[in-house]
Chains A and B, each alone.
Chain A
Amino acid sequence: MKFGVIVFPGSNCDRDLVYVTRDLLGQPTRLVWHQDTDLDDLDVVVLPGGFSYGDYLRCGAIARFSPVLKSVIAHAQQGKFVLGVCNGFQILTEVGLLPGALTRNRDLHFICDRVPLRVERADLPWTQAYQPGQVITLPIAHGEGRYQADADTLAQLEAQGQILLRYCDSSGELTAAHNPNGSLAHIAGLVNRQGNVLGLMPHPERAADPVLGGTDGRWLFAGLLQATAMALV
């Protein structure tokens, strides 16, 4: 399975993703410069965390106009996998591949932590290596991760089962104290209606190496690999 990690000048988690997909999982991976447009060889396009073009205006507001984004949209429309982590999630909402928006955290501070998350469904390629309802721990690191959407959009997300990850306490309960950024409905990650585009604020790539403590994020990538394995059979 071939991964491509988009590199904007202000991306800073690009190398971390390559480390996981190429070095830890042994998958062919290449970096894609933001001015390149050819993504045909890729199975999974990853929009990494960081500050794409500085994000002084609004996270992802400039990135949506970058040359590579047109190709990312086309890639998604072909039903191929697109993963947006943190800033990548923000960009996916800016370009409209995912609904809603990510605004400043409730307490207005940047938050870096490791938080419990509930896996809402495990029947998609992204989460098939988890159990439904499983509580996993992933790192978060963002200043603008508060998910917002209007009531109709939220109702649709719930009805279509598009919400994949929610902030919760260690037993899986949704409590205000365990919604670190004040996200609507505790949303930490969601997919588009087709399920091939995933955006999430937590960093699965930072929880993939046993030396660093947790490995709960590794199974998100491992799940994807199973997906192609099944498709090939």
Chain B
Amino acid sequence: MSAPFSAEEIAAEGLKPEEYDEVVKRLGRHPNRAELGMFGVMWSEHCCYKNSRPLLKQLPTTGDRVLVGPGENAGVVDLGDGLRLAFKIESHNHPSAIEPFQGAATGVGGILRDIFTMGARPIAVLNSLRFGDLDDARTQRLFSGVVAGIAHYGNCVGVPTVGGEIYFDPAYADNPLVNAMALGLMETPEIVKAGAAGVGNPVLYVGSTTGRDGMGGASFASAELSEKSADDRPAVQVGDPFLEKSLIEACLEAFKTGAVVAAQDMGAAGLTCSTAEMAAKGNLGIELDLDQIPARETGMVPYEYLLSESQERMLFVVAAGREAELIAIFQRWELHAVVAGRVIAEPIVRIYHQGQIAAEIAATALADDTPLYERELLADPPDYAQRAWAWTAASLPACTAEGMAIAGQMHSWTAVLQQLLATPSLASKRWVYQQYDHQVQNNTVLLPGAADAAVIRLRSPLASGEPTTIGVAATTDCNARYVYLDPYEGAKAAVAEAARNLSCVGAEPLAVTDNLNFGSPEHPVGYWQLAEACRGLAEACRELQTPVTGGNVSLYNETLDATGQPRAIYPTPVVGMIGRIADVTQVVGQGWQATGDRLYLLGHHTPTLGGSEYLAQLHATVAGRPPRVDFARERVVQAACRHGIQQGWLHSAHDLAEGGLVVALAECCISGDRGATVQLPESPQRWDEQLFGEVTGCIVVTVRSAYQATWEHYLQTVRHLDWAAIGQVTEPGSEFRVFAADGHSLVAVSIAVLRDGWAGALAARLNTR
């Protein structure tokens, strides 16, 4: 019998012809329309990781504090004193490219559901965002829409948005990245898992109604964007944060009854994914009656019910006989709660509609026994990388202590610093985080912009909110330009930077959630980037003992231009990392605190211009080898920084990142509203390399004057630690001055002038205040 579907219909579900053949093999027959749709979404990269799974296997996933690793809705780590933290990152890139406000809003809603599905109350959100050039009108619309969407959802639902990162680069012009990371504190004694259990147990549908919105979002997210994608707007969901707030409270209350056996949120692929995954994880089956599902509109067919991605919905397996008690909780919160099915012994997902079987598929065929592609890795690095690696700083114009001439125009180092600080990627993000409620829940210890990582105080949910001294620090990091130039080194650098940012507030790096945003793995270069980055992530997470507890893969981040040529984004493996703080009263920010504090540079400062912000901004060049991570040195530097903070010796800490040493110092000046006088160590390197070259494993700290001797004594005892005293903090209103080792002045500028360009850069481009 020939297929009852045309090649176009099969392709429209995101399935390749050979995948369709596999579907027929699994079923022993041709699928019906609904089943075809179910396979289409479940076999998308978004749901089944068919390209990335072999690569993800190398990631370390276990550790002393890991309670739940990959595979559940979120990872969970043990922070001690009965505090257990759930955390996860997820992308909403494709929806945000089409409809930035709702795309970003529902991205936040989705990641929050992953957290409270585990029985944890969400306590913080971070966002990692990438956009095109901010001078472009379309980018401005996407950027302001995404920020407004995140604000809308997060503010209303009452979870503080405390941190993250934003970069602007033309590589993301048509395909912005919106990754949201959420943290939650477990409130239930048992961690709620997703595997169905107990044959005969009822399946409870809770939350909002099911409509035609978000049809097939998972397949949509796994396809390249084209100019026609705007027609896919029905594939973007619409969020209701008020409903989600009620859902959080109702779910946590329901979990505390002990009557909920398993829970799964309905995100990508809605009912299809939740039933299939719960059944497959429990090695059981689920029968579901679509006639029981509260519908938002009439006349919906099984295909639509099953593929709907209406937001704020969850599926529970509950203990038989305790349905009424749970339904009452949801009704009190004015939410739907209906028994819509039951757990069966046969490992099958069986869907009824109007008394007929509408779909019948082995659960594993949807959730486990899915296609897997092991692709050939390029034998040699691709041409673009080899060409980039051939670049050296020798091709740049010569420079002197005064500055350098670019295209006939003289740039002083002070002017270069000002220009770098005013580029949107480095400039103040106040315009953004001011729109986010970052203080709700009364636990935000360090405000956005004040430190290298967000710090949240934890209050025990089990002991009536008693404050503990334990805190959690969180960060998201990825310098995608590095990853583009060298995916292996760049991915390592992202993990190292995340750990360093946590160490800079005094936190012990604990665990990682990663969001792999890449182009198409079907292109050899795209697959090389993905494979090399995964290798780097795995190595770095092992070296820094920060296991990966889960994450998200977003492939096909490419846009087809009018001629049909794919243009991939920079490969962007965003590393979300959390760290433990034993005593939240011993944390530091990045700003100078006191005049006269001595300034130290920790780490082996051998900066390079390869992949640097300076090279991109001043010379319009993206080339060279990005800085490399030396894990042994990285660990020593971070440990010394943490020790200094935990002992109460340090007043501030800030790592060197984009813009190198001088930009880092300038940021500390602005943040602390004090000047500094700095003398560079002797170096054979070019002036621009010394000032703006980038490096991993370096941190600038200031020390309380009373502890200076203690600190230096400590530094001398640490083996293999490079450090140098490089200057001191000067009074408010003074200048930021940098001198060469021979005393020659390199940079001299008032903090007010530095702040001006830095503070207003985003608003100026958006033409708002």
Residues of chain A at the chain B interface (Cβ within 8 Å): 9-10, 12-13, 15-16, 18-20, 23, 49-51, 53-56, 107, 109-114, 139, 141, 143, 203, 205-206, 208-209, 211-213
Residues of chain B at the chain A interface (Cβ within 8 Å): 148, 151, 155-158, 240-243, 245-246, 249, 333-334, 433-445, 447, 457, 459, 464-467, 584-585, 768-769
Q: Which residues of A contact B445 (CB under 8 A)?
A: 211-213
The residue from A18, A112, A139, A211 contacting B467, defined by CB atoms under 8 A apart: A211
Bound-state Cα–Cα, A50 to B157, Å? 8
Using A10-B246, A112-B438 as known contacts, list a sample of 11 further A-B pairs with CB atoms less than 8 Å apart, ordered by residue number in A. A9-B242, A10-B156, A10-B245, A12-B157, A15-B465, A19-B442, A49-B440, A51-B242, A107-B769, A111-B435, A206-B440
Q: How far, in Å, is B605 (CB) from chain A's closest CB?
A: 33
Instruction: With A23-B465, A54-B242 as known contacts, state yes or no: A112 contacts B584, CB within 8 Å.
Output: no
The residue from A20, A54, A205 contacting B240, defined by CB atoms under 8 A apart: A54
Q: Which residues of A contact B241 (CB under 8 A)?
A: 51, 54
Instruction: With A13-B158, A19-B459, A211-B467 as known contacts, state yes or no: A206 contacts B245, CB within 8 Å.
Output: no
Bound-state Cα–Cα, A165 to B515, Å? 45
Q: Which residue of B lies closest to A50 (CB)?
A: B158
Q: Are A12 and B442 in contact (CB under 8 A)?
A: no
Q: How far, in Å, is A10 (CB) from chain B's closest CB?
A: 5
Bound-state Cα–Cα, A209 to B465, Å? 14
Q: Which residue of A lies closest to B152 (CB)?
A: A110
Q: Are B334 and A9 in contact (CB under 8 A)?
A: yes
Bound-state Cα–Cα, A124 to B598, Å? 48
Q: Are A112 and B435 in contact (CB under 8 A)?
A: yes
Q: Are A56 and B437 in contact (CB under 8 A)?
A: no
Instruction: With A51-B156, A113-B434, A206-B439 as known contacts, state yes or no: A107 contacts B768, CB within 8 Å.
Output: yes
Q: Which residues of B contact A113 (CB under 8 A)?
A: 434
Name 17 A/B residue pairs within 8 A (Cβ), A-sorted: A9-B246, A9-B333, A9-B334, A18-B465, A19-B465, A23-B465, A50-B158, A50-B245, A51-B156, A51-B241, A53-B242, A54-B240, A112-B438, A139-B439, A141-B155, A211-B457, A213-B445
Bound-state Cα–Cα, A82 to B305, Å? 47
Instruction: With A12-B157, A107-B768, A211-B584 as known contacts, state yes or no: A141 contacts B439, CB within 8 Å.
Output: yes
Instruction: With A19-B465, A209-B442, A211-B585 as known contacts, state yes or no: A12 contacts B158, CB within 8 Å.
Output: yes
Q: Which residues of A contact B158 (CB under 8 A)?
A: 12-13, 50
Q: Are B440 and A141 in contact (CB under 8 A)?
A: yes
Interface centre among B242, B433, B443, B585 (most CB of A within 10 A): B242
Bound-state Cα–Cα, A211 to B581, Å? 13
Bound-state Cα–Cα, A205 to B130, Å? 35
Q: Which residues of B contact A10 (CB under 8 A)?
A: 156, 242, 245-246
Q: Are B440 and A13 in contact (CB under 8 A)?
A: yes
Q: Which residue of B lies closest to A139 (CB)?
A: B439
Q: Which residue of B lies closest to A9 (CB)?
A: B246
Q: Are B245 and A12 in contact (CB under 8 A)?
A: yes
Bound-state Cα–Cα, A158 to B245, Å? 39
Interface centre among A10, A54, A112, A212 (most CB of B within 10 A): A112
Q: Are B435 and A109 in contact (CB under 8 A)?
A: yes
Q: Which residue of A lies closest to B154 (CB)?
A: A110
Q: Which residues of A contact B457 (CB under 8 A)?
A: 211-212
Q: Are B442 and A206 in contact (CB under 8 A)?
A: yes
Q: Are A110 and B435 in contact (CB under 8 A)?
A: yes
Q: Which residues of B contact A211 (CB under 8 A)?
A: 445, 457, 467, 584-585
Q: Which residues of B contact A141 (CB under 8 A)?
A: 155, 437, 439-440
Bound-state Cα–Cα, A19 to B768, Å? 38
Interface centre among B241, B442, B768 (most CB of A within 10 A): B442
Bound-state Cα–Cα, A108 to B532, Å? 45
Q: Are B441 and A16 in contact (CB under 8 A)?
A: yes
Q: Are B442 and A205 in contact (CB under 8 A)?
A: yes
Bound-state Cα–Cα, A60 to B241, Å? 16
The residue from A13, A54, A109 contacting B156, defined by CB atoms under 8 A apart: A54
Q: How far, in Å, is A188 (CB) from chain B's closest CB?
A: 16
Q: Which residues of B contact A203 (CB under 8 A)?
A: 439
Q: Which residue of A lies closest to B161 (CB)?
A: A112
Bound-state Cα–Cα, A23 to B465, Å? 8
Q: Which residues of A contact B148 (CB under 8 A)?
A: 109
Q: Which residues of A contact B156 (CB under 8 A)?
A: 10, 12, 51, 54-55
Q: Which residues of A contact B435 (CB under 8 A)?
A: 109-112
Q: Which residue of B lies closest to A13 (CB)?
A: B440
Q: Are A16 and B440 in contact (CB under 8 A)?
A: yes
Q: Which residue of B lies closest to A111 (CB)?
A: B434
Bound-state Cα–Cα, A23 to B467, Å? 9
Q: Which residues of B contact A110 (CB under 8 A)?
A: 151, 155, 435-437
Q: Which residues of B contact A9 (CB under 8 A)?
A: 242, 245-246, 249, 333-334
Q: Which residue of B lies closest to A24 (CB)?
A: B467
Q: Which residues of B contact A139 (CB under 8 A)?
A: 439
Q: Which residues of B contact A209 (CB under 8 A)?
A: 442, 467
Q: Which residues of A contact B246 (CB under 8 A)?
A: 9-10
Q: How far, in Å, is A145 (CB) from chain B's closest CB?
A: 12
Q: Which residues of B contact A143 (CB under 8 A)?
A: 155
Bound-state Cα–Cα, A101 to B148, Å? 24
Bound-state Cα–Cα, A9 to B240, Å? 13
Closest 5 CB pairs of A and B: A12-B158, A54-B242, A16-B442, A141-B437, A51-B156
Q: Which residue of B lies closest to A210 (CB)?
A: B585
Q: How far, in Å, is A89 (CB) from chain B's closest CB?
A: 16
Q: How far, in Å, is A29 (CB) from chain B's closest CB?
A: 11
The residue from B434, B441, B443, B459 contacting A112, defined by CB atoms under 8 A apart: B434
Q: Which residue of B lies closest to A56 (CB)?
A: B242
Bound-state Cα–Cα, A20 to B459, Å? 13
Q: Which residues of B contact A20 (CB under 8 A)?
A: 442
The residue from B240, B333, B440 contacting A12, defined by CB atoms under 8 A apart: B440
Q: How far, in Å, is B212 (CB) from chain A's closest CB?
A: 21
Q: Are B245 and A112 in contact (CB under 8 A)?
A: no
Q: Which residues of B contact A16 (CB under 8 A)?
A: 440-442
Bound-state Cα–Cα, A20 to B442, Å? 9
Q: Which residues of B contact A49 (CB under 8 A)?
A: 440
Bound-state Cα–Cα, A85 to B469, Å? 28
Bound-state Cα–Cα, A113 to B435, Å? 9
Q: Which residues of A contact B434 (CB under 8 A)?
A: 109, 111-113
Q: Which residue of A lies closest to B156 (CB)?
A: A51
Instruction: With A16-B440, A139-B439 as known contacts, state yes or no: A51 contacts B465, CB within 8 Å.
Output: no
Q: Which residues of B contact A107 (CB under 8 A)?
A: 768-769
Q: How far, in Å, is A116 (CB) from chain B's closest CB?
A: 16
Bound-state Cα–Cα, A114 to B448, Å? 12
Q: Which residues of A contact B768 (CB under 8 A)?
A: 107
Q: Which residue of B lies closest to A203 (CB)?
A: B439
Bound-state Cα–Cα, A211 to B468, Å? 11
Q: Which residues of A contact B245 (CB under 8 A)?
A: 9-10, 12, 50-51
Q: How far, in Å, is A55 (CB) from chain B's closest CB?
A: 8
Q: How far, in Å, is A99 (CB) from chain B's closest CB?
A: 27
Q: Which residues of B contact A54 (CB under 8 A)?
A: 156, 240-243
Q: How far, in Å, is A139 (CB) from chain B's closest CB?
A: 5
Q: Which residues of A contact B442 (CB under 8 A)?
A: 16, 19-20, 205-206, 208-209, 212
Bound-state Cα–Cα, A51 to B242, Å? 7
Bound-state Cα–Cα, A112 to B156, Å? 13
